[in-house]
Chains A and B, each alone.
Chain A
Amino acid sequence: MIINGVHIDDTFAEAFNMRGTRVIITAQNHKWAHIAAATMTGFATSVIACGVEAGIEREMDASETPDGRPGVSILMFAMGSAVLMKQLETRMGQCILTCPTTAAFSGIDGDPETVTRINLGKNLRFFGDGFQTSKLFNGKRYWRVPVMDGEFLTEETTGMVRAVGGGNFLILATSQTQALAACEAAVEAMRQIPNVIMPFPGGVVRSGSKVGSKYKTLIASTNDAFCPTLKGITRTDLSPEIESVMEIVIDGLSDADIRKATRSGIAAACELGASGGIKRISAGNYGGKLGQFQFHLREIMS
Chain B
Amino acid sequence: MSALAFTLKIKPVQRVDCSPLTPDLLAGKSAKDIAATLLQSGRQQLQADQVFDISGNDSSNIEFSNSNGKLDFIGAHMSCGSVTVHGDVGSYLGLQMKKGSLTVHGNADAYAACGMAGGLLHILGNAGDFIGGALPGDRKGMRGGTVIVTGNAGDRAGDQMRRGVLLIEGDAGEYCASRMIAGTIGVMGKVGKYVGFGMRHGTILLFKPTDFHTTIQDCGHHTLPYLNLMFKSFTPLPSKFAHLSQNRVQKFGGDLASDGKGEILIFA
Q: Are A and B interaction partners?
A: yes
Residues of B within 8 A of A26 (CB): 225
- B226–A135 CB distance below 8 A: yes
Q: Does B77 contact A (CB under 8 A)?
A: no
- A67–B230 CB distance below 8 A: no
Question: Digit string of B77-105 for contact with A (CB within 8 Å is 1, else 0)?
Answer: 00000000000000000000000000000
> Once the chains are docked, how many angstroms separate the CA of A205 from the CA of B226?
40
- A133–B230 CB distance below 8 A: no
Q: Does A131 contact B (CB under 8 A)?
A: yes
Distance of B169 from chain A, by nearest CB (Å): 20
In the complex where A131-B261, A136-B163 touch, is A151 in contact with B225 (Cβ < 8 A)? yes
Question: Digit string of B222-262 for contact with A (CB within 8 Å is 1, else 0)?
Answer: 11111011101100000000000000000000000000010
- A103–B225 CB distance below 8 A: yes
> Once the chains are docked, how many angstroms separate the CA of A151 from the CA of B224?
7
Question: Digit string of B194-238 for contact with A (CB within 8 Å is 1, else 0)?
Answer: 000000010100000000000000000011111011101100000
Among B201, B222, B233, which residue has its beta carbon within 8 angstroms of that of A137? B233
- B261–A135 CB distance below 8 A: no
| Dominant secondary structure at the B interface | mixed
> Once the chains are docked, how many angstroms separate the CA of A26 from the CA of B225?
10
The contact size tier of chain B is 10 to 19
> Once the chains are docked, how many angstroms separate the CA of A222 from the CA of B224?
51
Q: Does A58 contact B (CB under 8 A)?
A: no
Q: Does A142 contact B (CB under 8 A)?
A: yes
- B226–A153 CB distance below 8 A: yes
Among A130, A131, A138, A151, which residue has its beta carbon within 8 angstroms of that of B226? A151
In the complex where A66-B229, A67-B229, A142-B229 touch, is A133 in contact with B201 (Cβ < 8 A)? yes
Distance of B145 from chain A, by nearest CB (Å): 11
In the complex where A150-B222, A150-B223 touch, is A135 in contact with B230 (Cβ < 8 A)? yes
Distance of B220 from chain A, by nearest CB (Å): 11
The contact size tier of chain A is 10 to 19
In the complex where A133-B201, A138-B233 touch, is A144 in contact with B223 (Cβ < 8 A)? no
> Once the chains are docked, how many angstroms separate the CA of A68 from the CA of B163?
25
Distance of A75 from chain B, by nearest CB (Å): 23
Residues of A within 8 A of B229 (CB): 66-67, 135, 137, 142, 153
Distance of B223 from chain A, by nearest CB (Å): 7
Residues of B within 8 A of A69 (CB): 225, 228
- B261–A153 CB distance below 8 A: no
> Once the chains are docked, how many angstroms separate the CA of A113 from the CA of B228?
30
- A67–B228 CB distance below 8 A: yes
Residues of B within 8 A of A66 (CB): 229, 232
- B261–A142 CB distance below 8 A: no
Residues of B within 8 A of A67 (CB): 225-226, 228-229
Question: Digit string of A105-145 for contact with B (CB within 8 Å is 1, else 0)?
Answer: 00000000000000000000000001101011110001010
Residues of B within 8 A of A136 (CB): 163
> Once the chains are docked, how many angstroms separate the CA of A153 from the CA of B230?
12
> Once the chains are docked, how many angstroms separate the CA of A130 from the CA of B201?
11
Question: Digit string of A160-186 for contact with B (CB within 8 Å is 1, else 0)?
Answer: 000000000000000000000000000
Residues of B within 8 A of A142 (CB): 226, 229
> Once the chains are docked, how many angstroms separate the CA of A144 from the CA of B229?
12
> Once the chains are docked, how many angstroms separate the CA of A68 from the CA of B231?
11
CB nearest to A101 among chain B residues: B225
Residues of A within 8 A of B226 (CB): 67, 135, 142, 144, 151, 153
> Once the chains are docked, how many angstroms separate the CA of A173 from the CA of B184?
63
Best-surrounded residue of A26, A135, A138 (most CB of chain B within 10 A):
A135
Residues of A within 8 A of B228 (CB): 67-69
CB nearest to B202 among chain A residues: A133
Within 8 A of A (CB), among B161-208: 163, 184, 201, 203
> Once the chains are docked, how many angstroms separate the CA of A130 from the CA of B261?
9
> Once the chains are docked, how many angstroms separate the CA of A199 from the CA of B184?
42
CB nearest to A62 among chain B residues: B228
Best-surrounded residue of A69, A103, A136 (most CB of chain B within 10 A):
A136
> Once the chains are docked, how many angstroms separate the CA of A68 from the CA of B229?
8
CB nearest to B223 among chain A residues: A150
Residues of A within 8 A of B225 (CB): 26, 67, 69, 103, 151, 153
Residues of A within 8 A of B230 (CB): 135, 137
Distance of A134 from chain B, by nearest CB (Å): 8
Residues of B within 8 A of A130 (CB): 261
Distance of A138 from chain B, by nearest CB (Å): 5
- B223–A135 CB distance below 8 A: no
Distance of A124 from chain B, by nearest CB (Å): 15
Residues of A within 8 A of B263 (CB): 133
> Once the chains are docked, how many angstroms separate the CA of A157 from the CA of B163?
20
Closest 9 pairs (CB-CB, A-B): A137-B233, A67-B228, A68-B228, A153-B226, A67-B225, A137-B229, A138-B233, A153-B225, A144-B226
11 pairs, A vs B, C-beta closer than 8 Å: A66-B229, A67-B229, A68-B228, A135-B184, A135-B203, A135-B229, A137-B233, A138-B233, A150-B222, A151-B224, A151-B225
* Beyond A67-B228, A135-B230, A150-B223, 4 extra complex contacts between A and B, CB < 8 Å: A66-B232, A67-B226, A130-B261, A144-B226
